[in-house]
Structure 1
Amino acid sequence: MGSSLKPTIRDVAEQAGVSLATVSYVLSGRNGGSTRISEPTKERVLQAAQALGYVANHAARGMRRGRTDTVAVVVENLDSPWDRSLAEAAYRILPGHGYRVVVLLGHEAWRNFMLSGGADGAILGFGTDSGEELRTIADLATRGVAQVVVSQSLEPRGFDVVSMGEGGGIAEAAKYLAGRHRRIAVIDRVPGEAGTEGGRLEQFRAALERHGAQLDPALVRPSRGPWREAYADAVDLLSQPQPPTAVFATADLDAVCTLLAAERLGIKVPQDLEIIGVGNSELGQDAEPALTTVGPDPVQEEIVRLLLSRLEERRQALPEGGQPAGRHLPAPWKLHFRGTTAPRAEGS
């Protein structure tokens, strides 16, 4: 093989002393099915590929086979416990079924990638609002691309929808805090302008008012940056001459930052300060004390398996122009009481 030529799968097979089929199977990353290849053989193939500098051309293979065996997980921010947990669930489940996982960040990253045929399926782990996003989802559905979309408003038409139903849990948190506190602070993590209509802050504010409580604008902080900024906001709020006695954070990450700020300032939680987050994340559950939070029961694995079933359906031939019916997975949110709120009386 000339040094100017790229190594091929045949070169890898000759170097490892195995068949082309064995090399193809090992380098595809597949683990399921009836084919069984010994660990020493796998290792020999991988070492041969590394020695030759072989790089698989997934795009060309996808064009030949009509599929890429790739799934895109689209999230906003891997600092978010929800986003990270969704990506981890995909990496944990999908490779065992023969799919590679790519993570795309942000509202802009996924459209061109998916429309150019970059993946067989996608999980959109954030709410979709813009007309361009909705048109892209509809276009991909007509092409037969498997999709699971997190949305409060979309109807499943050729794709599946997970509706979180967060309003009920936020209202429950507001009712609890309104009955116990008058100085309630909010750290509001939003992708756009703070306090946009229909956002978590506005849902919380409206629920407080229904129970006779008002938010002091001086105790509301928008949070758009990294966790250090949320931590600084929490320190500032808790250092005021009349500090809040409760903090509602619209993301668990910021609630945990508030817990750390309280520890730094010597404020006892929950005796002197109650904290409620949003997300029901592992980050909050692992905090000390464990975070009281609004969120669904863990649903990330269920979302990934919903997409996996859609991918398997896609492999079955459908009539020209046909689409499988969309499915709806409700995931209502509730208030999970843990260690950052006062212990409840038995039976309450």
Structure 2
Amino acid sequence: MTSTTRPATLATVAAAAGVSVATVSKVLNDRGDVAPATRAMVRRLLAEHGYVPRQARARRGATVELQLEGALCAYSAEIVMGAMQEAAASGAALVVTSTDHMADGLSWARGLVDAGRHAVITLVAEPSPAQLDVLLRAGLPVIVIDPMNVPASPVTSVGPTNFAGGMSATQHLLSLGHRRIAYLGGPAGAASNQARMHGYRAAMEAAGVPVPPDYVRTAGFCYADGLREGAALLDLPEPPTAVFAASDESALGAIQVARGRGLRIPEDLSVVGFDDTQIAAMHAPALTTVRQPLREMGAVALRTALRLAAGERIDSRHLELATELIVRDSSRAA
């Protein structure tokens, strides 16, 4: 590669090739009205001069702030790792901060700009409209990862296919012959919980299996929620033979309370989770779960943040990544 003190420009490459800047631009944009020999020469010189498009240069030098809510756990650690890997590959910088430092004032958002931030990724369940508004007013693109509720435009969000994941988990339990299947959900108002629950209900309805009202529980995504709501399900006069939990942590809570009552997993109770964090495979028995592409979600959020910071347009303000059912040892035939 030619050594230069400044980044190569279209004019630099055009002069070396003995063609016009317009011709080099046509090669970059894959226009068809350039002779094959000229096209090959221009591409070779682009590579030799290390030409990087202006938007890519803007992405390479950007700094993105990722705001993390609460303590780093298995779920958030995977997302942060995906964002870190993408930042390293893109030549960008990633700064991870705690939401303890978030505020609503415009001076706070402008302070981020003064600190060299070009975009903000927030891993917060429900960022306040005021916080999002001041970031946008300060000129900072905002990407929200898996929010409880999809924010209004122009904020961009990234999440999994929650409905499809809920349906596939329930269909798996139905295929094993279970009919008394309960849903152990997250917060009632969370869009992700609603989508997973609707996927569960859709699968049950399609199979012609009624859902007793007491079989649908809403609480949270944590281990303690699984302990509490799992106990409530097992206290029913006709307890379920299978539970689909809206997170891995709540699934493990349900398993723990079942074991405390002498039930065997999966012989007496099948359990399916949602997330596929590291604890799912490490648990005994290994947890059947719906895999969220957590690292890819972090990577997509970072790439989107860089594109918006560079002034590029994106096709959608809400990006959904496919989920996948991972069958392990916590589910078996009824």
TM-score bracket, normalised by the shorter chain, equals: 0.5 to 0.7
Match of 1:143, SS? Answer: coil
Deviation at 1:247, TM superposition (A): 0.7
Q: What's the counterpart of residue 140 of structure 1?
A: 136
The runs of 4+ residues in structure 1 deviating greater than 6 Å are 127-130, 151-159, 193-196
- What TM-score results when the alignment is normalised by the length of structure 1? 0.59
Q: Which amino acid aligns with 1:266?
A: G
Q: What's the counterpart of residue 286 of structure 2?
A: 290
1:85 aligns with 2:87: no
Q: Which amino acid aligns with 2:257?
A: A
Q: What's the counterpart of residue 121 of structure 1?
A: 119
Match of 1:335 among 318, 325, 329: 325
Match of 1:341, SS? Answer: coil
1:175 aligns with 2:168: no
Q: What's the counterpart of residue 184 of structure 1?
A: 181
Q: What is the rounded CA distance, in whole Å, between the counterparts of 2:132 and 2:221 in structure 1?
A: 29
The root-mean-square deviation of aligned C-alpha atoms, in Å, is 4.2
Matches within 5 A, 1:265-344: 265-296=261-292, 298-300=293-295, 302-309=296-303, 323-326=311-314, 330-342=320-332
Q: What is the rounded CA distance, in whole Å, between the counterparts of 1:315 and 1:170 in structure 2?
A: 34
Deviation at 1:212, TM superposition (A): 0.8
Match of 1:101 among 93, 96, 106: 96
Q: What is the rounded CA distance, in whole Å, between the counterparts of 1:216 and 1:194 in structure 2?
A: 22
- The answer as to whether partners of 1:73 and 1:87 remain within 8 angstroms in 2 is no
Q: What is the rounded CA distance, in whole Å, between the counterparts of 1:182 and 1:266 in structure 2?
A: 22
Structure with larger RCO (C-alpha < 8 A, sep 6+): 2
Q: What's the counterpart of residue 19 of structure 1?
A: none
Q: What's the counterpart of residue 56 of structure 1?
A: none
Matches within 5 A, 1:6-17: none
Q: What's the counterpart of residue 205 of structure 1?
A: 201
Match of 1:212, SS? Answer: coil
Q: Which amino acid aligns with 2:75?
A: W
Deviation at 1:223, TM superposition (A): 1.6
Task: Tell me: CA distance 1:88–1:78, structure 2 relative to 1, closer, same or farther (3 Å).
Answer: farther
- Identify unmatched segments of 5+ residues in structure 2: 1-60
- The answer as to whether partners of 2:291 and 2:323 remain within 8 angstroms in 1 is yes
Deviations 1:309-333 (A, max 9, x none): 45666786xxxxxx31125654111
Q: Which amino acid aligns with 1:207?
A: A
Task: Tell me: CA distance 1:116–1:331, structure 2 relative to 1, closer, same or farther (3 Å).
Answer: same
Match of 2:170, SS? Answer: helix
Q: Which amino acid aligns with 1:342?
A: R
Match of 2:160 among 160, 164, 183: 164
Deviation at 1:228, TM superposition (A): 2.6
Q: Which amino acid aligns with 1:86?
A: I
Q: What is the rounded CA distance, in whole Å, between the counterparts of 2:304 and 2:103 in structure 1?
A: 19
Deviation at 1:112, TM superposition (A): 4.7
- The answer as to whether partners of 1:70 and 1:99 remain within 8 angstroms in 2 is yes
Deviation at 1:257, TM superposition (A): 0.9
Q: What's the counterpart of residue 71 of structure 1?
A: 65
Q: What is the rounded CA distance, in whole Å, between the counterparts of 2:232 and 2:154 in structure 1?
A: 48
Q: What is the rounded CA distance, in whole Å, between the counterparts of 2:151 and 2:217 in structure 1?
A: 34
- The answer as to whether partners of 1:141 and 1:147 remain within 8 angstroms in 2 is no
Match of 1:185, SS? Answer: strand
- The answer as to whether partners of 1:80 and 1:253 remain within 8 angstroms in 2 is no
- The answer as to whether partners of 1:205 and 1:214 remain within 8 angstroms in 2 is no
Deviation at 1:168, TM superposition (A): 1.4
Task: Tell me: CA distance 1:325–1:150, structure 2 relative to 1, closer, same or farther (3 Å).
Answer: farther
Q: What is the rounded CA distance, in whole Å, between the counterparts of 1:282 and 1:144 in structure 2?
A: 33
Q: Which amino acid aligns with 1:176?
A: H
* Identity score, percent: 22
Q: What is the rounded CA distance, in whole Å, between the counterparts of 2:191 and 2:164 in structure 1?
A: 21
Deviation at 1:185, TM superposition (A): 2.1
Q: Which amino acid aligns with 1:124?
A: T
- Identify unmatched segments of 5+ residues in structure 1: 1-66, 317-322, 344-348
Q: What's the counterpart of residue 64 of structure 1?
A: none
